[in-house]
Each structure stands twice: as structure tokens, then as C-alpha cells.
Amino acid sequence: MDNQFQESDLPIGELRKLGLIQNGKPILSGEDIDALLGGHRTELITLHNLHADGINIRKIDAKLSLERMPNGHVTVQLHPIYRETKKHPLLIDIEADQLERGALTNVLKTYQAPDGKKRSWLIEYDPQTREFISSDPEKVQIPEQVNGETLTELQKEHYRDGSVIELSDGTLLQRRASSRSGVTSNRSALVFSLLLDGGISYLLLRGLGNITNSWTEQKDPYTEGYKKAMQEMHERQQGTGKDVEDNQRKNQHSRSLGKWRFR
């Protein structure tokens, strides 16, 4: 859950070529900036007048993500809307069909890497771009608590593997690589508590998408657990001598409007 990239990693030159830099700063929304820094994909963004390899593209809708190359260089990856679904080499036809139809939200596949070791990919389908997305379960930062409720080892395992987990108050959540925040829930906001660098770090997620294939609207996020976790977050922030609201306003332009992080 912690950021895979820092703001200094943003490839300003590449973003400028995409027409996404103004006055030296990205003109992406705060939520899309957070998606990039967290290693996720943005929402669909309309790009104009792109030039590459002698080809001029007047207009295209695509999602963006960041990728760190072996030499450490960070590049922007474009994920356009494909006319036809791109096949995934690890999926059999029935699995691909079920993902496309929404009968499955993900498929966990294990394979043997060139070095002889077994690796796993959690594969999802993004209906907006008609593309399969793979993520490594072993690289997932798992929260210790959600809305103040400590996750069991089984819940943590389910979170890592992309299964829906349920809290005692009926809150449902699921890790989704295809989601801009990386998480979907039957509530629009959650407070995560994570162990980072030997201490507790709080992560406020807002504007979350609903659980896939849910037939009910999202519930009120302001549960007792949520309010208690928010209070603990405020108390910890006040203990550093900073004001939470000032911190939120300060970060509205350069960071997400929907996430606060502090230790």
C-alpha cells in the first residue's frame, strides 16, 4: 500500500510530451497522481496531438502508469482502449472468458520463471481498456488494521490473493490492481493502518469504487471503527505538532485529495 514511487520520480519530460505539464507541474488530478505514485493506473485520460515514430494521433483515451526500468529510470506507460481484448499467455480460454464477463474478479496463476523458481501472478480484467492486468501478490503491502480492526492472518492472506474480506461491521473490501486506489469496498472511505519502517502509518482512502458485481449501493463509510481510527490518526498527527486540516490543504495540489499519510 505504500508508494512505490516518489514525486521526484515523475518523468516530467515524458508527461510534457503527453501534454500533461503546465507551468512545470503535472495537470493530473490529485487522485491520478496518487495512483501513479502507488504503482496503480489512472482513470482514463484524454490525450491530444501525440507524435511518435512519425505517427500523429489527434486524440486518444488511455490510462497511465509508471514503470521502473532495470537501470532505475522511471517511464510512463500508456494503456489505451483496445479494439479487441489482448490475450494473456497464462490464462486458458474459459478463465479469460469468465474474467471478461465478470463471473470472476481475478485468477491466481503460478508458473515457473526462467530462473527455475515458482512465481505467481494475480490476473484481472479491465473492461475499460479491454486488457488483462497482472500483479505480484508477494509485493503487496498488507494493512495491519482496517478502520481500527486488526486483520487475522487468514484475512491478510485473502487480501494478498485478491479475495473479498469482511470486517465485523459488515465492511467489505478487495484489493484490485485495476482500481485507481488499488482497493474497492462497499464503503467509499476506509482508514488503513500499516507497519512501515518499524512504526504505524495511517492511510486514508476516499472515493473508493464499489465491490465488483455488487448489486447494492455503497454504505455509509462513517462507522464507529472508521471514526475511531480517524480520531487516532488525528491524535497521532497532533502529537507531531501539525494540524491535519492544514496538512490536507497544503497537499491538495501536489498530492491526493483523498489520501493522507503520516507516522
Using 50, 70 and 90 to split pLDDT, how confident is the model at 263?
very low
For the chain, the distance separating the N- and C-terminal CA atoms, rounded to the nearest angstrom, is 14
Do 145 and 243 reside in the same domain of the chain? yes
Place of cell 476506509: 190
Among 165, 74, 90, which Cα is nearest to 133's? Answer: 90
What confidence score (pLDDT) does residue 26 get?
Answer: 94
Mean pLDDT of 162-177: 95
Looking at the structure, tell me whether residues 75 and 179 fall in a common domain: no
- What's the distance, CA 42 to chain centroid? 8
Which domain, by its residues, includes 241?
Answer: 140-262
How many domains are contained in the chain? 3
- According to DSSP, residue 198 is labeled T
Taking the model in full, what pTM does it have? 0.78
How open is the CA angle 145-148-150, to the nearest 5 degrees?
40
Residues 221 and 249 in one domain: yes
Cell of 53: 515514430
Same-domain pairing of 107 and 194: no
Residue 126 sits in the same domain as residue 34: no
Q: Could you tell me if 41 and 131 lie in one domain? A: no
Give 14-43 pLDDT, tens digit per residue.
Answer: 999 999 999 999 999 988 998 999 888 999
Residue 209 belongs to a domain: yes
Residue 88 lies in a domain: no
